[in-house]
A = this chain, B = another copy of it.
Amino acid sequence: MKATFGEYIRQLRTDKGLTLTQLASQLDLDSANLSKIENGKREFDEKRLDKLAIAFNLNIDELKTEYFGDQFAKKMYQYNCSPETLIVAEEKVNYLKSINVKQAEIKF
């Protein structure tokens, strides 16, 4: 749980003894692009998360955690964000949820 998402995919793939071409076809990708993804030169599209989960029989929620955790970390690193950012994020998720609950309640 410390690697980047690309390194994580590579780990999964090599552990299973798959080539780039083999995994790429399961993900509807060309192997050149999968290579770039594993090396952090392209993004893994979130629309392919479910295919990845199937390919390695992973829990989709854990995979999302890994994926979005990676995304957030990259941004924070890139923009030199303070650790406080994550606390604010947590508060704001809760705020969004509370807003939504309120709206749902109003609907009836």
Interface residues of A (CB under 8 A from B): 1-4, 46, 61, 64-66, 68-77, 79, 81-93, 95-97, 100
A2 to B33, CA, bound (A): 40
Majority SS at the chain A contact face: helix
Collect the chain B residues with CB atoms within 8 Å of residue A68's CB: 75-76, 79, 81, 85, 89
Collect the chain B residues with CB atoms within 8 Å of residue A100's CB: 77
A4 to B91, CA, bound (A): 10
Collect the chain B residues with CB atoms within 8 Å of residue A97's CB: 77
Q: Are A77 and B93 within 8 A (Cβ)?
A: yes
Give me 13 other A-B pairs in contact (C-beta within 8 A), A68-B79, A70-B89, A73-B93 excluded.
A4-B92, A61-B82, A64-B82, A65-B81, A66-B88, A72-B75, A72-B92, A73-B96, A74-B92, A76-B89, A76-B93, A77-B93, A77-B100
